[in-house]
Structure 1
C-alpha cells in the first residue's frame, strides 16, 4: 500500500495542475509565469486547507474526499477558485483562458456526474493535463499519459475507486483535453 499511496500523492491533481500551469505559461506566455504560478499555489493552498480541516474534524473519512457525499462542497470550492484563477490570469485576454475554462468544465461534469458515479479526479486531471500538454510540450504530455496505468493501479489498490470510476475519470479527462485541443 505505501507504493500505491506515494504514486497517488506524486500524481495528485494539485501536482499535475501545477505542472500543467508551469508548462502552459512557459510555452504560451512566459511573462505570465510568476502570476500563473502564484495563483495556482494560492488555489492549491486554499483547497488543501479546506480538505485538511474537513478530514481533521472527522467530517471526511479521508483527505481524498473518497465518499461521494463529501464531494459537493469540494466541487463548489473548486469552481469558485477556478473562476477566481481565470480572472486573476486576465480572463478571456489570458493566453491560458481556454485551458482554465476547459478544466473548469471538466470539474463541472464530474460534479454533475457525482450523483451517479464518483469519477476519479486523479485520473481525470492526469488525462486532461497529459492531452493538453501534448500540444504544448509533447515529451511532458507523453510522460503524463504513460503514467496513467500506474495511477489507475494506485487508485484501485488503495480502494479509493472502482474500475468504472477510474475508467470514467480517464475518459472525462481525455474528452476535456481533446476538446481543449480543438478549441
Structure 2
C-alpha cells in the first residue's frame, strides 16, 4: 500500500504541471490476507471489537464441520480466529486511511489542486463473520457497504442536474439519484 502512494507522489512531483493529469491509485488491501504492518495490527489486536451480527436463522452446522470454503466461514473457527481476522481487516483499513492522507497532503502544495477532483470508493465491503459469512458473498449490509467520497478543488465547477424531477419520479420514493 505504501508503494502505491510512494509512486503516486513521485508522479505528482515529476509530472508536467502545464498539462491536466489523471491518477488512479488502487489498493489491493483490505482484501485477504489481512496483513497490514504490525503497528497497525497492534492498534486493534487485543482490543474490544464489535461482535459480528448474527441472525437467528444462522446455520451453525456450517461452522462446526472441518474445511473452509473460500467465500464463507464454513469450517471451524473460534473467537480468537475471528478477532485476529477482524483486527487485521481494521488494521488494513487504517493503513490505507493513512496512505490516502499522504497522497492528499502531497496534492495540496500544488496550485493545480484547486482544479483537481479526488474520488475515493471501493469495490465491495466485507462480511467479516456477520451471519457466519466471510468476504463478499451475500447482500447483507457488510458486503455492499462501500465509501464514496468526492473532494472537489475550490475552482472545480461540475454541471449537474437532479434527474429525479426530470423523470417524473416522486422525490419521496427510494431511488439511487444518479
TM-score (norm 2): 0.27
Q: Which has the larger share of helix?
A: 1
TM-score (norm 1): 0.27
